[in-house]
Amino acid sequence: MKYAFIFPGQGSQAVGMGKEIYENFVQAREILDRASDFCSIDFKKLLFEPNDNLAISEFTQPAIVLNSFMCYLALEESMALKADLTLGHSLGEFSALGVSGGLDLIDTIKLVNSRGKFMQAACEGKNASMMVILGLEDSKVEEICQNARENGAQVWAANYNCDGQIVVAGNKDDLAKLESTFKEAGAKRAMLLNMSVASHCPTLKDASENLVKELEPLIKDEFDPVVSNVIARAYTSKDEALQLLKAQLVKPVLYKQSIENIDSSVDCYVEFGAGVLKGMNKKITSKPTYSITDIKSLEEFMSFAKGEF
């Protein structure tokens, strides 16, 4: 079996995520405790107790990556299984880099803490937001955004999730004005998201510059293949990583295209945390996707991997 390990991005967070894994796996406990000390964040409180910080990017991002790592380490502690490819959705690409050996796991958590701060700072005072469009072809969404930009609006296609689901980013007022345009073009839904950042568009140029400076001394020279959100193909070197991750914040996430490109070389996808990508994958590929979020889901995947199904 050839496996692709996949990792969710921002928006997949939930209070209580990873709690059962933390309580039952030594490596999960160790990485949470180390990350809390290294980042000066009480991750037990952030992940397991109701709080307002989980919705703030500088905390959301390390919390999601840490949860993914805990779920991954629970599998590692339970059985020997190596990925042929790793892939993440937006923020999840950094989780993929950690698991592939491109970054130290603790460094990754600290780095995405900074990433969240950089993104928030870049969007300060810009009335930034994002909107999900359902039921409309990618080309039509792109056309509407292009026409709007020609008339002075700041709107861009940002996330290509699966057929019939695309997220656009930019100025909140400009996005709101386009809601009726998307619906008149045939969209089943055009809904503003509760976000104060505009990811994967030119609004994040300053964040992109700052992130790559912090990434440069941390990224390893070589690592196992990671599929880039920007080009939907794998990369394995520091030089490629610096170029692609600098572009990642200002270019759209080609998640759907990435899965399509690697699907013929993969037998099974394994998501670590959330289960969001499992739902997307059902609309992209006929290959199985397992999502490890707790002990039950871990055991289900292990039964599959050991050939019991």
Tens of pLDDT, residue by residue over 39-66, are: 999 999 999 999 999 888 899 999 999 9
Q: Domain map of the chain by residue range?
A: 3-122+203-305, 128-196
The pTM score is 0.95
Distance CA 275, CA 158 (A): 21
CA distance 303 to 309: 7
Distance CA 1, CA 289 (A): 13
Fold that domain 128-196 belongs to in CATH: Alpha-Beta Plaits (3.30.70)
Reported as a single tens digit per residue, the pLDDT across 90-125 is: 999 999 999 999 999 999 999 999 999 999 999 999
CB 141 within 8 A of CB 166: yes
Report which DSSP code applies to 53.
G
Active site residue 12: no
Distance set, CA 253 to CA 14, 15, 49, 89, 220 (Å): 22, 26, 31, 7, 23
Kindly tell me the burial class for residue 152, based on how many C-beta atoms sit within 10 Å of its own C-beta (0-12, 13-18, 19 or more).
Answer: exposed
Say what the pLDDT of residue 13 is.
Answer: 87
What residues form DSSP beta bridges with 204? none
Helices within 40-104 (DSSP H only): 43-48, 57-78, 92-100
Q: How far apart are the first and last CA of the chain?
A: 14
89 is catalytic: no
Residue 243 above 80 pLDDT?
yes
Which of the residues 68, 90, 196, 258 is marked catalytic?
Answer: 90
Averaged pLDDT of the chain: 96
pLDDT confidence of residue 229: 98
From 114, 199, 200, 291, active-site residue: 200
Domain at 3-122+203-305, CATH homologous superfamily: Malonyl-Coenzyme A Acyl Carrier Protein, domain 2 (3.40.366.10)
